[in-house]
């Protein structure tokens, strides 16, 4: 009922920006990818509103996941992209695949709470090109846990305030797991190149005493990867090795498939404590709505700072350049403007649970109900005891320096076995840092 009421309220606004609200003589079918597979149902409900107010338009919603991404990209390369992709990661090598939004009459630049028009230039060095519009604020990483299971163990993660507290907690949890035949892992995780290479190691590094500025200095060449004394990655890498050697992390975690093994094991409670972002909360509750979940951040550093990802073009929505001369492009453009409008972003944020990267004051703000925000992010913001650093991370800051066609230093599946070898004691820290420096020289060096 509420969704339909909101939809009716959009009629006048839709007409104002030129979205047709009367039946067309011939139905227009637009193919749109969902934000993420786990949010398909929420996206579908919101696009249903658009169809109600635009009877001549049908939205065919599709999902793209880890397993189907390669096939999808092959389809795009063959000149058959969908009309709108709900979430993607533009790069120096693919940005021309997407329409430059600065060349359109795109109406929402001034509503963004970051420099959306030029953020791609800041992170990739491409002047005058905006391939995506991202309405999601920087994401938060966290430890997520099954609170009822930890209560059985007599453990309360909320008591973890320092990294030493985390060590003591994991040792106790390991002892408890050894008494349970149905729980296999202490601190659950797997390998995902973006999670490790762009997010997790940096977030742990900040908690261990570094700043995001230190990471920007590392990635832009002011600090060498081989400089063990000053490289802000080193404490995080050493902690990963420590947690691997002590059996807190799963054996051969670098070979574990992200969705099929890691996420599945937490969802089915073969583990009760894991490192992830906002998505695992939703996946667990989709399978078990009664799951008792809780979360904590990696401990703040001595200055009370916790890492948060920056808001960039990453995870933005796009139109495809290959469609620009096709008959339905104008219909796709109008649907895209609706999808990225403040009114619709409010619906999206409340349905999925992201903190919006737009000014929604005229829409009354947002009431976020997603579990990560309700149980962790919101209370932390309200308490005011920690500060979130959402400035550009190291890899993003170095984007303009990266040579076309070259790999990232860590965000690459080829690095899984290398970091795994270090964690398992089969490669020295010096050798791992030398490899990272070599990769940096190849991709970013002059």
Whether residues 147 and 239 fall in one domain: yes
Whether residues 120 and 152 fall in one domain: no
Quote the pLDDT of residue 38.
87
- Residue 10 in this model has a pLDDT that exceeds 50: no
Domain end point (choices 367, 392, 409): 367
In this prediction, residues 32-40 reach a mean pLDDT of: 94
Q: Is residue 35 part of a domain?
A: yes
Give the model's confidence band at 8: pLDDT under 50 very low, under 70 low, under 90 confident, else very high.
very low
Domain end point (choices 343, 367, 391): 367
Whether residues 122 and 266 fall in one domain: no
Whether residues 186 and 289 fall in one domain: yes
Quote the pLDDT of residue 3.
34
Q: Do 248 and 174 form a contact (C-beta atoms < 8 A)?
A: yes
Please give the tally of structural domains in the chain: 2
- Taking only the tens place, the pLDDT of each residue in 295-305 is 999 999 999 99
Strands 293-296 and 57-62: unpaired
Backbone angles phi, psi at 235, to 5 degrees: -60, -35
**For residues 281-295, b (16+ Cβ closer than 10 Å) or e, as one string?**
bbbbeeeeeebebbb
Q: Cα 391 vs. chain centroid, distance in angstroms?
A: 15
- SS3 state of residue 112: strand
- Residue 36 in this model has a pLDDT that exceeds 50: yes
Q: Is residue 245 part of a domain?
A: yes
d(CA 194, CA 179): 34
Query: Scanning the structure block, which residue is given the tokens 């039946």?
Result: 23
Quote the pLDDT of residue 17.
47
d(CA 155, CA 157): 6
Domain end point (choices 367, 401, 435): 367
In this prediction, residues 374-390 reach a mean pLDDT of: 95
Whether residues 219 and 332 fall in one domain: no
Quote the pLDDT of residue 361.
97
Whether residues 204 and 323 fall in one domain: no
The number of residues in the chain equals 446
Whether residues 172 and 122 fall in one domain: no
Whether residues 198 and 249 fall in one domain: yes
pTM, rounded to two decimals: 0.88
- Taking only the tens place, the pLDDT of each residue in 302-335 is 999 999 999 999 999 999 999 999 999 999 999 9
In this prediction, residues 127-148 reach a mean pLDDT of: 97
Give the model's confidence band at 66: pLDDT under 50 very low, under 70 low, under 90 confident, else very high.
confident
Whether residues 196 and 340 fall in one domain: no
In this prediction, residues 34-62 reach a mean pLDDT of: 96
- Taking only the tens place, the pLDDT of each residue in 276-290 is 999 999 999 999 999
Quote the pLDDT of residue 25.
53
Whether residues 176 and 298 fall in one domain: yes
Whether residues 362 and 218 fall in one domain: no
- CATH code (residue 6): 3.40.190.10
Which pair of structure tokens corresponds to residue 227?
């400089």
Work out the mean pLDDT of the chain and round it to a whole number: 94
Quote the pLDDT of residue 67.
87
Whether residues 176 and 97 fall in one domain: no
**For residues 180-205, b (16+ Cβ closer than 10 Å) or e, as one string?**
eeebebbbbbbbbbbbbbbbbbbbbb
Report DSSP state, residue 60. Answer: E
Residue ranges making up the domain that contains 220: 142-307+377-443
d(CA 112, CA 106): 12
d(CA 17, CA 111): 15
Q: Is residue 74 part of a domain?
A: yes
Q: Is residue 430 part of a domain?
A: yes
Quote the pLDDT of residue 1.
27
Q: Do 234 and 134 form a contact (C-beta atoms < 8 A)?
A: no
E-strand ranges in 1-116 read 28-33, 57-62, 84-88
Q: Is residue 381 part of a domain?
A: yes
Greatest Cα pair distance, the chain, in angstroms, is 69
Q: Is residue 15 part of a domain?
A: yes
Q: Is residue 372 part of a domain?
A: no
Percent of the chain whose pLDDT exceeds 70: 94
* Bridge partner residues of 356 (DSSP): 136
- Residue 225 in this model has a pLDDT that exceeds 50: yes
d(CA 124, CA 41): 33
CA within 13 Å, CB half, 17: 21
- Taking only the tens place, the pLDDT of each residue in 177-197 is 999 999 999 999 999 999 999
- Residue 436 in this model has a pLDDT that exceeds 50: yes
Q: Is residue 421 part of a domain?
A: yes
Q: Tell me which long-range contacts 22-25 makes (C-beta under 8 A, separation of at least 24).
A: 22/55, 22/56, 23/55, 23/56, 24/55, 24/56, 24/57, 25/56
Give the model's confidence band at 423: pLDDT under 50 very low, under 70 low, under 90 confident, else very high.
very high
């Amino acid at each position: 009922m509420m969704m339909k009421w909101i939809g009716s309220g959009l009629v006048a606004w839709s007409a104002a920006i030129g979205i047709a609200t009367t039946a067309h003589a011939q139905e227009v079918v637009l193919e749109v990818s969902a934000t993420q597979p786990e949010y398909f149902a929420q996206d579908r409900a919101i696009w249903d509103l658009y169809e109600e107010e635009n009877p001549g338009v049908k939205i065919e919603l599709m999902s793209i996941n880890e397993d189907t991404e390669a096939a999808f990209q092959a389809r795009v390369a063959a000149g058959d992209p969908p009309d709108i992709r709900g979430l993607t990661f533009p790069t120096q090598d693919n940005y021309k695949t997407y329409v430059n939004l600065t060349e359109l009459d795109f109406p929402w630049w001034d509503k963004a709470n970051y420099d959306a028009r030029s953020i791609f230039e800041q992170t990739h060095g491409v002047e005058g090109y905006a391939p995506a519009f991202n309405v999601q604020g920087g994401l938060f990483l966290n430890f997520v846990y099954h609170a009822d299971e930890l209560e059985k163990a007599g453990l309360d993660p909320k008591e973890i305030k320092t990294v030493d507290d985390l060590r003591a907690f994991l040792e106790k949890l390991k002892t408890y797991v050894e008494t349970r035949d149905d729980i296999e892992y202490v601190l659950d995780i797997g390998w995902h190149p973006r999670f490790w290479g762009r997010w997790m190691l940096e977030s742990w590094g900040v908690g261990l005493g570094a700043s995001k500025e230190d990471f920007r200095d590392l990635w832009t060449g002011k600090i060498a990867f081989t400089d063990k004394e000053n490289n802000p990655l080193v404490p995080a890498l050493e902690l990963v090795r420590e947690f691997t050697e002590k059996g807190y992390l799963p054996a051969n975690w670098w070979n574990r498939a992200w969705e099929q093994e890691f996420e599945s094991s937490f969802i089915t409670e073969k583990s009760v404590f894991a490192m992830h972002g906002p998505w695992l909360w939703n996946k667990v509750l989709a399978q078990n709505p009664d799951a008792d979940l809780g979360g904590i951040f990696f401990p703040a550093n001595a200055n009370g700072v916790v890492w948060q990802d920056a808001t960039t073009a990453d995870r933005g929505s796009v139109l495809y350049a290959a469609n620009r001369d096709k008959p339905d492009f104008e219909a796709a453009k109008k649907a895209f403007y609706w999808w990225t409008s403040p009114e619709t972003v409010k619906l999206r944020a409340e349905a999925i649970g992201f903190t919006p990267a737009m000014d929604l004051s005229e829409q009354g703000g947002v009431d976020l109900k997603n579990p990560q925000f309700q149980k962790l992010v919101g209370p932390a913001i309200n308490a005011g005891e920690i500060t979130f650093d959402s400035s550009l991370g190291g890899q993003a800051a170095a984007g303009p320096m990266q040579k076309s066609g070259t790999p990232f230093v860590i965000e690459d599946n080829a690095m899984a076995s290398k970091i795994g070898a270090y964690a398992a004691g089969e490669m020295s820290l010096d050798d791992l840092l030398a490899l990272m420096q070599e990769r940096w020289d190849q991709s970013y060096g002059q």
